[in-house]
């Protein structure tokens, strides 16, 4: 997407926020078969998390929000592997 296409960026952001609020984003994300398979194979319960600062992120980026979302995914799929 072109940086000049702010209308499209705003529309995409609006749609993603709406999908997050109504639960449809999570339903699609967590139930998408390739995601489910990849998360299961990752074996999060056996992994160690490393936090690395990214100086390239814009100052407006909410790093804490990103980390909370990452933890949500990890917690959802942190079950013992078979």
Distance, CA of 24 to CA of 40 (rounded, Å): 21
24: in domain: yes
- pLDDT value of position 78: 76
73: in domain: yes
Distance, CA of 27 to CA of 19 (rounded, Å): 9
What residues make up the domain containing 36? 6-78
How many domains, in total, are found in the chain? Answer: 1
1: in domain: no
22: in domain: yes
43: in domain: yes
Select the more confidently predicted residue: 45 or 33: 33
- Express each pLDDT in 43-77 by its tens digit: 888 888 888 999 999 999 999 999 998 888 888 88
């Amino acid at each position: 997407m072109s940086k000049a296409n702010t209308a499209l960026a705003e529309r995409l952001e609006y749609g993603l926020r709406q999908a997050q609020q109504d639960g449809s984003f999570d339903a699609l994300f967590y139930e998408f078969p390739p995601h489910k398979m990849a998360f299961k194979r990752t074996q999060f319960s056996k992994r160690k998390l490393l936090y690395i600062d990214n100086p390239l992120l814009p100052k407006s980026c909410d790093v804490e929000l990103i980390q909370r979302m990452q933890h949500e995914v990890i917690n959802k799929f942190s079950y013992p592997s078979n």
